[in-house]
Structure 1
Amino acid sequence: MSYYYYKMKTLNVLYLFLVFLPGGGFMLELQPSDRLIVKQSGDQSSFFISCRGVSGLERNVVWRSDKGHISAATADRVHLEPSSTGGIDLVFRWLEPQDQGRYSCSQEGSSKHFDLVVVQSLDFKDTPKIQMVQLGAENYRLKCSISGFPYPTTTWKVKGKNIRNNLGKEDKSAKYVMDGTDLLIRNVEKSDEGRYMCKAVQTVRDTDESESVLFQDFKDFIIDLKIEQSPEWLDTNTGQFYGFVTGRANLTCQAEAQPPPVFSWLDAQNNPVTQGEIYNTEHKSTLVLQVTHHNIFGAYTCIAENIHGRLEKVVMLSEGAKPGTPEIKPNRIFGDSIELAIKKPTADLFLQVEGFQVEIKRADLPWEKAVVHQFKLENTGVYNINGLSLQTFYHVRAKSRNKAGLSDASNIIYLKTNGETSSPLTGAPSNKVPGLHHFSSFAALLATIMSAML
């Protein structure tokens, strides 16, 4: 026998030693070689596992799953195909929850496997964002429905405190107790209304002794708890309102309730109000009446009701006095603001003036476009109007305000702002008012404008 024959025989023996295990099995190799592989469900990126055995015997490599047969049709989402480096690849075009399980590769009695964990994302889809309970309920279950795999652990955050499942003895005196994933609230009070956070955490750990974390994710969900209750009055007034003939009267009532109250008004004969207009917001109702004659004065009833109860409140509209007309004059003028002196009328015998309504507009606009400022009565008699434009002509007028309504409009001031942006609160006083233009008539204003243009 030739040297070449002995060399080939020796190489064959070495090859057989390398590819056969002492127990008679082939040396198989998985790439990647992880015992536990964690993937996200719905992940649209594909991945594959290669199984390589004895070179030249790739066709004998067999893949199996604990769910049965694996397709060899390359058009299928999960299938087998020959590897470019030898062996057979297990290919996942994308992942679905049912792909989880054990997959094994074998050849000639030798076998290797890996476990695939398909993580299903956390989802609060069945949890209502707004939940409602009636005031005074002994126990209420605040729901937090959470899905996902691995099944998550759940905690709650309430008023800055973390609430967890207590696997020991239940504390029957505790205000908040977890029951599964839900939160049990005992003896519901108004103060329990507010925001609650349900937090879910899912973790995948290795199955070996280390139990190291291979995957972790969390999500939280904010729930608004509304306390249902029958209406309660919020009014601080005594129910007494005033008006005067030719004026307009505003009657109001305020109530808190959940669900929000529905408001309505009755006249002195307990019939629904047919005159006037009603403006309702969530907790307030305003009845606006045009006082065209003395029969408008009298008793009116405000009603606030919801599914839990009904409230009625009688208010009185009495005849008052129209406030006197104020006098106004500019005190100081700047580029972006003015300081206005308002003198209240002196003949207030019945209802005292409580403040002023100041209207200001650009000279080229109608009064319907005026900006309205409401001021309370100040001992100084000086009121600031900000937010004006530089070098601009304005018209200003004011009305007195008392409980019965507004007075006639005052004299009109015609003025022009200057080019400086000093604040009236910080500007130094001066005998000569900077930028002041005070005109006694509209004709004088036009003459000034024309001269400025020339």
Structure 2
Amino acid sequence: MTMEKAVLVVVLTLMVLAPQGLSKGYVEYEEDYYYEAEGGDYEPPTFTARPQAFTVEVGQSVIIPCDVDNMGSFKLLIKKVPANGGAEKLLFAGREKITRDRRFSMDGSRVTISNARPKDAGTYYCMFGLQPPVVLRHTIDVQYAPTVRAMGRPEQHIPRGDSVTLECQAEGNPEPIIRWSRQEGPLPSGKRSEEAQSLTLEGVDRHVEGTYLCTADNGIGEAAVAAMSIIVEYPPEITTEKARIFVIVLEAVEFPVRLPDSAIVRTGEGDQVELVCLVRGRPVPEVVWTRDGLPIPNTDMMDTKLHHQQQTQHQQQDHNSHMVHSHSAHRHTLTIKHVTEKDFGAYMCIAKNSHGQKDATIQMTGLPKPPHLTSSPNGGESDTYTLTWETESYYPITEFLVKYRKTQLGTWQTNHTMVMGGSWQSISEAVDPDAELNEDTRHSMAYTLKDLEVATDYAAQVRVRNKYGWSSESETFTFSTKKALAVLQSTSTGGGARGRSALAAVTLLLAALAALM
């Protein structure tokens, strides 16, 4: 085809031609190139390259082939339609570069895109603006690593019992897969991870607190992660810890003792006691201490975890303070130095936040613990019985009191209780500290009751005393003297029919006693 057979027309317009496969729209440039035949007696150019679909990753290069035969003096146009449906863009017209993007270059009839970016994805047209147009179409898919962002606040405060849904939005090519996990360990469901667009937590409590990770992965580059923290708000919760007591020996040596009863602390004069409450809550509760309902003065509210150095200096200044309140994280400690009898009483730690209030009581006393009877309920002697018991006392037991009486079945009362018979008899006796069996704070004791009746049921209660006073009474303990001897005596007193009748009566008595036991 010669220039005599065609006329090059340069049209100044914003509208481009729309050959088959191209959408109509506006371009960045006002010049568009097309050819119009005078008589139609010419041979148009033909493309020797085939349409292709290219898939590249971000950063790679791609070559768009526009190989052509019989191009003559026609101008090869290179156009792009973005994958997101934006406006058509003219990149090259013949040897003239229209785009300002330096990553695009043209060598002969081939276009090279260096360092591909996601915005380079789309449809590329090699074309001649003839009537009808000659067009070769290629597509480029640019794959890139995912990005992800949390939908919502990065830190969410949720009231206990409510539900919350965590969501994140991911982008990438190919489309990323979203997985949920928990930084602190398994998810509340027990699984290590779950694949889902969102994660719903129902009826939350403080055990679901933590940082939840939304991970987007599509196999390209590194996976993307977004973090969301869940903080569950709830009223204060308090548990008491076993007291820690420092005993002053000869005013020089100190050693710690842990008591088994966390609600009652048994101590004595001159000791140093640490009363501990473990407090949890959201928001962080304010904690105060009282004794017998009255606020305790001179407390130190410094957080030892955050202000350890300041607290150390403060405690050095307050070294002689009788009571010091300190806390580290959830552990609140009331230290009582040089305990006196006046310090005994009911200590209460009270925790309060915007969701409620909770308290716990620790009774500090010098009194012994109520005894626990350890002897067998079935006695081995006919007229004596040895009671054995254990008690806990921080100081030696100086005296005990035993109360006992016979038990006798009476009539059923209207309140469905049975009347017990017999009057109490009391025996008190001083204790020789050297003869007492004890291990640390545990004391084992015994006493033999005499002149008891044969095969008889008894009830007993025991109290013990130390330098600070009497303990509470033990639970009522029931026992009996030896019953086999009574059977033998009753069967040996008669003979013949009378003896057989006595034997039958004894048999019935044994059956009744067995039922009672």
TM-score of the superposed pair, with normalisation by structure 1:
0.48
Question: Which structure's CA Rg is the greater one?
Answer: 2
